[in-house]
Amino acid sequence: LLSQLESKRQSTAGVSLDEEMANMIRFQHAYNAAARYITTIDEAIEVIVNRMGLVGR
């Protein structure tokens, strides 16, 4: 009975903990991918700037 009541309460609350956890994991993966992308671009810009500096000397 208690389990049924808890299930009913969660279904009417409108928040699925499983769905929220899945979303959080998906957002974390997206954040990590964006961070890797920014790091790659930053490294590429650093290489370009350093090579341009050597050409001008």
Q: For residues 10 and 16, is the Cβ–Cβ distance under 8 A?
A: yes
Q: For residues 41 and 35, is the Cβ–Cβ distance under 8 A?
A: no
- Where are the domains positioned within the chain? 15-55
State the 10-residue block means of pLDDT for the chain, 57 residues long. 84 81 98 98 93 69
pTM (two decimals): 0.62
Report how far residue 46's alpha carbon sits from residue 42's, in angstroms, rounded to the nearest whole number.
6
